[in-house]
Amino acid sequence: MFFRKKEILNSVFDVEKYYDDWTERYIEFGGELIQAYRTSDDSELLEYYLESAKIKAGQVILDSGCGICGVSSYFASKLNVCIDAITVSQVQVDLSKSNLKQRSLKGSVKVIKGDYHNLSEYFIKNRFDRILFIESLGHTIDVNRVIKESYTVLKSGGSIYIKDFFKKKFINNFSNKRYYTVVNNINKIYKYNTLDLEKTIASLRCAGFDIEFIKKPDFKDDISVRLAFETKNNINIFGQDTSFVPTEWLEIKCIKT
The answer to whether the beta carbons of residues 133 and 254 sit under 8 Å apart is no
How is the beta sheet containing 247-256 ordered, strand by strand? 108-113, 82-87, 60-64, 128-134, 154-167, 247-256, 209-215
Amino acid identity of residue 170, one-letter, is F
Q: Tell me: the pLDDT tens digits for 45-55?
A: 999 999 999 99
Q: What is the pLDDT of residue 2?
A: 41
DSSP string, 159-206: EEEEEEEEEPP-SSHHHHHHHHHHHHHHHHHHT--PBPHHHHHHHHHH
Q: Tell me: the pLDDT tens digits for 9-53?
A: 899 999 999 999 999 999 999 999 999 999 999 999 999 999 999
The answer to whether the beta carbons of residues 3 and 180 sit under 8 Å apart is yes
- Work out the burial of residue 157: count CB atoms within 10 Å of its CB; fewer than 13 is exposed, 13-18 middle, 19 or more buried: exposed
Q: What is the pLDDT of residue 7?
A: 66
Q: Which residues pair with 108 in a beta bridge?
A: 82
Q: What is the pLDDT of residue 169?
A: 76
End-to-end CA distance of the chain: 40
Give dist(CA 151, CA 158) in Å, integer: 9
Helix axes 90-101, 12-30, angle to 10 degrees: 40
CA proximity to 53, closest of 167, 241, 3, 45: 45
Position 172 pLDDT exceeds 80: no
Backbone angles phi, psi at 245, to 5 degrees: -105, 100
pLDDT above 70: percentage of residues in the chain: 95
Q: What is the pLDDT of residue 1?
A: 38
Q: What is the pLDDT of residue 243?
A: 83
Is the entire prediction scored with pTM above 0.85? yes
Position 228 pLDDT exceeds 80: yes
Interacting residues of 190 by C-beta distance below 8 A, sequence separation 6+: 18
Give dist(CA 31, CA 68) in Å, integer: 10
Q: What is the pLDDT of residue 3?
A: 41
pLDDT average, residue stretch 91-105: 97
Position 160 pLDDT exceeds 80: yes
